[in-house]
Chain A
Amino acid sequence: GESVGLHLPTLSVQEGDNSIINCAYSNSASDYFIWYKQESGKGPQFIIDIRSNMDKRQGQRVTVLLNKTVKHLSLQIAATQPGDSAVYFCAETFTNAGKSTFGDGTTLTVKP
Chain B
Amino acid sequence: GAVVSQHPSWVICKSGTSVKIECRSLDFQATTMFWYRQFPKQSLMLMATSNEGSKATYEQGVEKDKFLINHASLTLSTLTVTSAHPEDSSFYICSARDWTGQETQYFGPGTRLLVL
A3→B38 CA distance, assembly (Å):
16
Taking CB as reference atom, which chain A residue is nearest B97?
A98
B106 CB within 8 Å of chain A: yes
Q: Contacts A104-B43, A105-B43; is A43 near B107 (CB within 8 Å)? A: yes
Taking CB as reference atom, which chain B residue is nearest A101?
B46
A42 CB within 8 Å of chain B: yes
Contact B107 A98 (CB under 8 A): no
Contact A43 B49 (CB under 8 A): no
Surface stretch bound by B, among A44-52, A64-72, A77-85: A44-52
Considering the complex, which residues of chain A in the window 53-112 have a beta carbon less than 8 Å from any beta carbon of chain B? 89, 93, 95, 98-105
Q: Which residues of B contact A36 (CB under 8 A)?
A: 107
B100 CB within 8 Å of chain A: no
Considering the complex, which residues of chain B in the window 96-113 have a beta carbon less than 8 Å from any beta carbon of chain A? 103-110, 112
A34 CB within 8 Å of chain B: yes
A to B CB contacts below 8 Å, 6 in the list: A41-B110, A42-B109, A43-B93, A44-B44, A89-B44, A102-B45
